[in-house]
Amino acid sequence: MVKVGVLGYGTVGSGVVEILDKNKDIIAKRVGKDVSVKYVLDLRDFPGDPVEKVLVHDFEIIANDPEISIVVETMGGVHPAYEFVRKCLENGKSVCTSNKALVAAYGPELLALAEEKNINFLFEASVGGGIPIIRPLKTSLAPDEILEISGILNGTTNYILTEMTEKGSDFDSVLKDAQDKGYAEKDPTADVEGYDACRKIAILTSLAYGKQLDFEDIYTEGITKITDRDIAYAKKMGAKVKIFGSSKKVGDKVSAMVAPQLIYPEHPLYSVDGVFNAILVKGNMVGDVMFYGQGAGKLATASAVVSDVMDAAKHAGVNIITLWDAEKLDLVAAEDARNVFFVRVSGIKAQKSDKVKELFGNAKMVDAGYDDEFAFVTEEMSEGEYQKAAEQLEGVINKIRVDQTGLA
């Protein structure tokens, strides 16, 4: 019998308890022994909920119970989650978490402690919700050198951009609609400013290259500056606006970024709409591999957590090697990253086209039928080169990078 303690009885924590109960027979068959919840920690009471029978309000009860060999952390946030997880690991308990903020900040430290104790720190649900991506990176794709990872890593922003594209609505009205439907938080900052995707691509990149990529070092843009006119231009170009978290190998370094991108139908992620997530991984041997599914949701995320619980139960006393050292990954400077840019400019095209050509060379003009502005697409250039040129062009309204994947 494997006894589990659950820290947090919110959306994901309650889902974990539900799955371990409803699917207990199939889980027992696949693990080789019964797996059950002994305690659930939460500050709240839940009158009438069966969880009351195992509910505790003192973390030390779980931390110091010798019968509990696996702890599930679904509290969210960095503190006190870090302190709780570290103590559980120190006490010889494997930990399974869905907490991307914790993993991004303390992944190498907690993995090293788990290795020292011959237990496991597992975090499949920290990226992509129910989409399996962490384990495939560590196992199925282990023979490959990872050349590139790019993904739609946040369902809220993908839903907003999809609605703006399909209905022609503006950002603010779609955000309110997303909040009303429960797709966006009351405070949507982490989603719409790209911070959530930033932590996720930091985790994936660290695993892919075996060294720490601090999310604070990743250049990050959200979608708050995307307007209905940007969407109209994209349609005119036969493209869509998506926000990607991406990283790719450039020589001996890695370039990483979170930002809106214009993508064309040739891109494998072009048709990923609504609240769905997708991650494209390019290996030097396997080529392109895509992972697609629900990136959030109670049971989707909880299912990923329970898969880790089962893995930990099957590897009792054996550490599953995860290559992720505290040594910092060598990043390409943000200003040296190379991209193609879509640029919107206020004013009349005929009056500024010569200046555009002078600054940006062979730029391709885009006409969406507006009298008070125009747009163009640059050739590939560095971020620094773009910034220097844009500063000399009066009236720049917005820029969006253009992904060239799939184009000749």
Alpha helices in 278-343 (DSSP H): 298-314
- Name residues whose C-beta falls within 8 Å of residue 85's C-beta, 6 or more positions apart in sequence: 71, 73, 95, 97, 102, 110, 121
The residues that bridge with 55 in the sheet, in sequence order, are 40
Distance between start and end Cα atoms, the chain = 57
Q: Which helix (H) or strand (E) holds 211?
A: strand 211-212
- Name residues whose C-beta falls within 8 Å of residue 269's C-beta, 6 or more positions apart in sequence: 150, 151, 152, 242, 244, 263, 278, 280, 290
Strand, coil or helix: what is 332? coil
200 is catalytic: yes
Report which of 184, 146, 143, 124 is spatially closest to residue 320, judged by C-alpha positions. Answer: 124
93, 100, 138, 200: which is the annotated catalytic residue? 200
Backbone angles phi and psi of 48, in degrees to 5: 85, -15
Q: Which residues of 114-132 are buried (b: 16+ CB within 10 A; e: fewer)?
A: beebebbbbbbbbbbbbbb
Distances, alpha carbon 61 to alpha carbons 6, 34, 56, 88, 199, in Å = 11, 22, 8, 11, 31
- Name residues whose C-beta falls within 8 Å of residue 118's C-beta, 6 or more positions apart in sequence: 317, 318, 319
Integer Cα distance of 401 and 263 in angstroms: 9
Catalytic residues: 200
